Structure 1
Amino acid sequence: MGQTTVQDAPVNVMIVGQAGRLQYEAVLFALSLSVCTPGGRFRLHVAEPQPGPLWPEDPRMDDAEARELLEGLGARILPFESRHFGAAYPYGNKIEALAALPEGEPFVFFDTDTLVTGDLARVPFDFARPTASLRREGTWPKIELYGPGYTATWRALYDRFGLDFESSLDRAWPEEYWQRYLYFNAGFFFHACPRRFGQRFLDYALSIRDAPPPELVCQSLDPWLDQVALPLVIHSFGGGREMLPPGLIDGEVTCHYRTLPLLYARERAAVVELLEEIAAPNRVKRVLKRHEPIKRMVYQGRGRKARALFDRDDLPRREQGFRNRLKREGFWMR
């Protein structure tokens, strides 16, 4: 018997599933994973928040057939308790759910509005050196005219947790330009242990939320709290920007589409074709058509009409350009 290497060791993949939109996006994710990443190395866990005082309504997936589809695709439903965030900050699910994954086993988290478009085995994850999605814009902090700048704002956070700020900087970018500072989209991240990573993520997020440094007085933390804490957590574990080859995550191997109108408007043709292929079987269609955006964009052809609004050779540079056009033409859905 040969020894298991890092590159073929089992990996836990986690997304969040709950009542409403996320349970149907979870089905699409699971279908795409099963088609594009064969074999059993990447084991899917669908984290499901449980009822409690922080949820005014039951957050669990309420479509029994969607749950059956997920389990039929090999997904493990992973219940977790919401002790700190819940309905007031549902992005906190990705933080609290990490405690429910097996301790000491490497994991990869994806936002549920993601499709796996290639074999995850192609991605050379170094779980000791975490990173997150670089498909982001300069959404935080928003610098006010007389308020602290990027350097003062981010330095205050690094100082709060005893981290070295200077080593986090990308000096290819000038002072007070957002890309100089470590910043990710929290739609994807990984590490060697979900419990260690998750506890630090939770500690940092709660500290920032409950007692923000004075330099954050002008800054909104909703919905940005997870993306403010995440680079600090990654830096604390010795990770950073360039831990993976470019073009795989948020490229050839995964697509974080965010909304179906955005998927049709801006993603490459192969992503659209994959979406429509995995959604086509009758047993899948019967379930997914209950979600209005999937019904209208995929099954009624509005996605293709939305795509035709955009010149593939002259696409908007920023996400807002896509959103504005889609809203103006009546194709925006969430």
Structure 2
Amino acid sequence: MAGTGTRAGGRFDIVIVGQAGRLQYEAVLFAASLRASDPDFAGRLIVAEPQPGPLWPADPRMDDPGARDVLSEFGAEILEFESRAFGAAYPQGNKIEALLALESDRPFIFFDTDTLITGPLSRVPFDFDRPSASMRREGTWPVIEPYGPGQSAIWKSLYDRFGLDFDSSLDPSQPDDYWQRYLYFNAGWFFYRCPVTFGRRFLDIATAIRDDPPPELVCQPLDPWLDQVALPLVIHGLGGGRPGPELAGLDGDMTCHWRTLPLLFARESDRVIALLERICAPNRVKKVLKAHEPIKRFVYQGKGARARALFDRAALPRREQAIRSILKRHNLWMR
């Protein structure tokens, strides 16, 4: 069944999370970009929405009726799910618990909501039997202490905990104890043939690491990196690994994980900026998006152009933190 999604004419589910605050407006941008960049997409766009419960002190549901209306116009389906393990204490856990509310045995790709679809995603030759995830990441975890265990010891302790073969996960072209030697993803996108199977394993591994980490993790921060610590173990355990060249369009010509609007304007291509401005232009979309302060200021009031003028896209600082620092010095940082 390799390549299930493309052999079925792109009939796989796309899943994002929508909730009160910025994510509902990012969901509108995502849906608008999908319809603009891949009008032939034949699958479902599912906006997973956490429901009120004991793990949410405030109602997490999308609270802008206009955002709901526009999402519906773009063909999105809103899917309710319960938060039983994470909730407000670790909202990144939404991407884990949402999967358990989906239908079994339907190929899916999950995206962080702060993503734009910039090309025909339905043409990407996914092999849904071999899960993978985004490699657009930096060496953010683990944090190596001077007298503590190294990268190898930390990662091996996790593979051992879950009965996984550590050596086969390594990239032998990278030196020992260098972070890129180890299977480490950005959780901004990932896919598999069954969301329930993937979600159950993701939930089991993430909660086990949170509640009873190996001794080698005693000094390691897990917030906000828990999802990215667990994700390689899930993917490796399901027979997946690093994405191959056939997936180069993800975080490339097909998608853009923009993270924050200041970063988007600072470092993304003219093509991405043009798409953003185009999908934000229709009045029905503008009326909704102007309620979100960062979009109002950066897209509609010109702060984005000011941020963009500070950087040469051909010679960006190597680390994201340096870009953030420049933006903050010029009062151009918003989340």
Structure-1-length-normalised TM-score: 0.97
- Determine the structure 1 residue equivalent to 2:146: 145
- Determine the structure 2 residue equivalent to 1:102: 103
- Determine the structure 2 residue equivalent to 1:264: 265
CA RMSD of aligned residues (A): 1.3
How far, CA to CA, are the matches of 2:314 and 2:229 in structure 1? 34
- Determine the structure 2 residue equivalent to 1:61: 62
How far, CA to CA, are the matches of 1:83 and 1:121 in structure 2? 33
> Is the contact between residue 169 and residue 183 of structure 2 (CA under 8 Å) also seen in structure 1?
yes
- Determine the structure 1 residue equivalent to 2:199: 198
Query: Shift of residue 193 of structure 1?
Result: 0.1
- 1:78 match: secondary structure: strand
- Determine the structure 1 residue equivalent to 2:13: 12
Distance change >3 Å, CA 332–CA 295, structure 1 → 2: same
Percent identity between matched residues is: 69
How far, CA to CA, are the matches of 2:23 and 2:6 in structure 1? 34
Which structure 2 residues correspond to residues 45-56 of structure 1 after superposition, within 5 A?
45-56=46-57
The runs of at least 4 consecutive aligned structure 1 residues that moved more than 3 Å come to none
Which structure 2 residues correspond to residues 295-334 of structure 1 after superposition, within 5 A?
295-334=296-335
- 2:251 match: secondary structure: helix
Q: Which runs of 5+ in 1 are unaligned?
A: none
- Determine the structure 1 residue equivalent to 2:213: 212
> Is the contact between residue 48 and residue 79 of structure 2 (CA under 8 Å) also seen in structure 1?
yes
- Determine the structure 2 residue equivalent to 1:232: 233
> Is the contact between residue 152 and residue 177 of structure 2 (CA under 8 Å) also seen in structure 1?
yes
Query: Shift of residue 7 of structure 1?
Result: 4.9
How far, CA to CA, are the matches of 2:6 and 2:135 in structure 1? 28
Structure-2-length-normalised TM-score: 0.97
How far, CA to CA, are the matches of 1:31 and 1:147 in structure 2? 47
Q: What letter corresponds to residue 84 of structure 1 in structure 2? A: A
Superposed CA offset, 1:152-176 (max 9, x none)? 0000000001000000000100001
- Worse overlay, 236-245 or 191-200: 236-245
Number of aligned positions between the proteins: 332
Q: What letter corresponds to residue 30 of structure 1 in structure 2? A: A
- Determine the structure 2 residue equivalent to 1:276: 277
Superposed CA offset, 1:253-274 (max 9, x none)? 0000000000000000100110
Query: Shift of residue 5 of structure 1?
Result: 6.6
How far, CA to CA, are the matches of 2:192 and 2:243 in structure 1? 15
- Worse overlay, 123-132 or 236-245: 236-245
- 1:30 match: secondary structure: helix
- Determine the structure 2 residue equivalent to 1:28: 29
How far, CA to CA, are the matches of 1:249 and 1:297 in structure 2? 25
Q: What letter corresponds to residue 202 of structure 2 in structure 1? A: F
